[in-house]
Structure 1
Amino acid sequence: MRERGTAVVSGVARAGRATWAYIRRAPGTFVWLAILFVTTLIIRHVAPAAADRILERRSTNIHYLEKSPIRVLITSALWIAGSGWFSYFVLYNIFHVPAERWLGTLRWLCVAAIAHVGATYISEGVLYWSIQHGYAPESARYTLDYGVSYALAGVEAVLTYRIAKPWRYVYAAAVVLYYGLDLIQSRDFTSVGHFSAALIGFACYPLTRGRGEPWDPAEALRAVRRRLSKAN
């Protein structure tokens, strides 16, 4: 019994060390996720009216971009719109974690920030043009606009350069198709923002230079097959 207990403790310790090693290799991503977890709990545990006030004050709409742009551009990226926190936990591990490990925390953060800020101004600029030309009501300048999806779209796109050719082109086409179809179907300022963020991510190619050899999916698959053959 004592040996079994020792084995369990040892297994838990190993799992803990492995988890910490995984987190430590992408610190920015997991700090961001931790903040999003806290802000999600806040929104879920306050009254709906209070939640609306909180999000309204952190919205990158036309009104606040004119009044306090730096504040809202930062705080809008600390709250989740739409899907729950766990969905973003999965997406961050699929896209942000490998991007941060590949680029390094500073370059990864630059890509995310450039996509977030650039797509925000492009989408709100389109909305402002629509208001000025009578295609949208004046009240649209107060529309809620917050969340992390623009930054995510930019990081998804920049990961194109992590992949070896010809798979790189398949991945890039999938990103363009995903956000392009949403733009065609929705035709709103948010879909404009997502598509713009993806294009900005592609344009961040200079930040990817000197970051090692591209990852080859075919070679990775062959390596897995070799390990399985040895195991058998």
Structure 2
Amino acid sequence: MRRILHTVRVPIQPVRAWVTSAPGTYLWLAALFVTTVALHRMSPDFEEAFLRQRSTNIHELSTDPVRVLIASAFWIDGGTWLPYAVLYTVFHAPAERWLGTARWLGVVVLAHVGATLVSEGVLGWAVHHGHAPQSAVNTLDVGVSYALAGVIGVLTYRIPRPWHLPYLAAVLIYFGTPLIVGRSFTDLGHFAAVLIGLACHPLTREAAPRSGAARRNTRAASGP
């Protein structure tokens, strides 16, 4: 029995080490799981009204911007959590491990807030000049995709040379094509978030910790 328990326990250790090395990512993901379960318990009409009050649309931003900017980052429109668990593990967790929680959170906040203000600002201009219907001021806009796009952008500086250039090209094509084809305010927000992530280069300086071997080599070179 002990041998069986030991066999089961071994794969858990790397997973636990990975999760604890990116606490912000997985606490956020856990919060999204709770809110997603809550959404599944709501009726469709109530869910829409509930999310609209937490939406970063023009009306809510002009009424209580801080509240909706925070609240919108904890709800997923559509109620599908598992794909975000994968995306957070692939992008957010490596970024947090690399940058540290504080700087990773800085990128997240800048991308989420900045892209929201850019996209809703352009939408507000379109409504004011008759290029979008007046009903667009109450559009439903919640989710974590702007922050994710910003982190995907900043990870360009983590990719080893020369592979960072194909990665950057793929990111720009992926987020730029919908903007050219669809030209929706959310497409603009995603592309703006990527650019904000790229503009966070100062936060990446000396972000990567040296390995234990590198530290030992440095101590050996400097002498006792």
Same fold (TM over 0.5): yes
**2:16 aligned residue:** 20
Misfit runs of 4+, over 4 Å: none
Q: Name the Cα RMSD after superposition.
A: 1.4
2:90 paired with 1:79 = no
CA distance, structure 2, for counterparts of residue 25 and residue 210 of structure 1: 18
**1:223 aligned residue:** none
**1:142 aligned residue:** 138
TM-score using structure 2 length: 0.91
CA distance, structure 2, for counterparts of residue 150 and residue 81 of structure 1: 13
Q: C-alpha deviations, 1:115-152, integer Å up to 9, x for none?
A: 00000000001100100110111111000111000000
- Which residue of 28, 32, 42 corresponds with 1:32? 28
**2:162 aligned residue:** 166
Shift, 1:184, TM fit: 1.0
Instruction: Give the direction of change, closer, same or farther, for the CA distance of 1:66–1:114 in structure 2 (3 Å limit).
Output: same
CA distance, structure 2, for counterparts of residue 166 and residue 20 of structure 1: 32
The answer (yes or no) to whether the contact 2:99–2:208 under 8 Å persists in 1 is: no
Q: C-alpha deviations, 1:127-180, integer Å up to 9, x for none?
A: 001001101111110001110000000000000000121111111111101000
2:62 paired with 1:61 = no
Gaps of 5+ in 2: 211-224
**1:182 aligned residue:** 178
SS of 2:88's partner is helix
The answer (yes or no) to whether the contact 2:40–2:79 under 8 Å persists in 1 is: no
TM-score using structure 1 length: 0.88
Shift, 1:198, TM fit: 0.4
Shift, 1:81, TM fit: 2.5
Gaps of 5+ in 1: 215-232
Shift, 1:93, TM fit: 0.6
- Which residue of 139, 147, 156 corresponds with 1:151? 147
CA distance, structure 2, for counterparts of residue 208 and residue 122 of structure 1: 24
Q: How many residues align?
A: 210
Give the residue type in structure 2 aligned to 1:173: A
Shift, 1:69, TM fit: 0.3
The answer (yes or no) to whether the contact 2:156–2:164 under 8 Å persists in 1 is: yes
2:89 paired with 1:93 = yes
CA distance, structure 1, for counterparts of residue 52 and residue 107 of structure 2: 26
Shift, 1:103, TM fit: 0.1
